[in-house]
Amino acid sequence: MLMAGAVTAGAVLLGSPAEAAAGSAKTGPGVIPLPDGFRPEGITIGGGPYAYLGSLGDGSIYRADLRTGEGRIISTGPGTPSVGLKLDGRGRLFVAGRGEGARVVDARTGEILASYRLTTATPTFANDVFLTPRTAWFTDSFQPALYALPHGRGGALPDADDVVRITLSGDWSQVPGEVVNANGITRTPDGKALLVVQSGVGGLHRVDPRTGVTELVDLGDAAPLTNGDGLLLIGRTLYVVQNRQNAIDVFTLAADGTSGVFQKRVTDPDFDVPTTVAEYNGTLYLPNARFTTTPTPDTTYAVVAVKR
């Protein structure tokens, strides 16, 4: 069953994400083509030069070689969307499945290892995911909640009834209906809390993972993070993708994540509504979701590489 309320301290230890290690030199092509009609949204990169992307169309998972630009489908989708995804150190992809909850995919074999119904509430939109050493955290764009999948001993996947719902409160003000609220998610630099961007109103929130109480992050005179999407934290530097702005806003955060200072905006002529971001060897990689283009089986898609 779904459990509402606080998560135990042992279940929510926040640590460094796998993609937090930064390198120096850009390698590989600047634009990596994806299959026609693929409709990418989420991207994740592990320790090697391979990016994994999910399809909003049929939910397939694609692996791209960052050195050559070549790739292939490693897991045929279930026919429902794959949105945000993250790769853990055990070769498991945690995938947000929009209205279908979440699933875990073996990145080597493509096998679905587990599936989770995150909530019985409607409407629901499992949008993005962030991994800590002990928990997978999912955002819901249509509900004022986060969902936690606490790992068992040795990283064992939880049972289907072990999903924990954390209701967002404090400074959080949910826009009702099918409006994108909670979207990208990461942690604070000190690892003690979570950060969630609220797309429709352009706010960045610091979230207590035990209580769900949120505090609006003070970003000074920076413009609202309108259409804020994927988040990436490297050290104290936060990258916020703003999809329809075709931009990444970059901030230096206080250690506790309560405030931040705007540093720069990154754009590129090849951006076409990028949604999420991952880093490898000093380069940022963003999939073009092309939300302003009507998707067809022949629509072209790509991943764009830009220097940090």
Region for 199 from its dihedrals, namely left if φ exceeds 0, alpha if ψ lies in -120 to 50, beta otherwise: alpha
The structure tokens 């997978």 sit at 136
Instruction: Say whether pLDDT at 3 is over 50.
Output: no
pLDDT (0 to 100) of residue 29? 75
Residue 4 has pLDDT above 90, yes or no: no
| Pair 147, 4: CB distance under 8 Å | no
Q: Looking at the predicted structure, is the pLDDT value of residue 18 above 70?
A: no
Distance CA 196, CA 201 (A): 12
pLDDT digits (tens, 9 = 90+) for 54-86: 999 999 999 999 999 999 999 999 999 999 999
Q: Where are the beta strands (DSSP E) in 217-296?
A: 228-234, 237-242, 247-253, 260-266, 278-280, 283-287
CA distance 40 to 297: 13
Of the candidates 219, 200, 232, 226, the residue with the CA atom closest to the CA atom of residue 258:
219
DSSP at 239 = E
Closest residue by Cα to residue 146 from 186, 105, 113: 186
Cβ–Cβ < 8 Å for 91, 104 = no
Q: What is the pLDDT of residues 190-226, one digit of tens each?
A: 999 999 999 999 999 999 999 999 999 999 999 899 9
Answer whether the bond into residue 158 is a cis peptide, omega within 30°.
Answer: no
Cβ atoms of 275 and 56 closer than 8 Å: no
137, 193 contact by CB (below 8 A)? no
Could you tell me the pLDDT band of residue 28, with boundaries at 50, 70 and 90? Answer: low
- Residue 20 reports pLDDT greater than 70: no
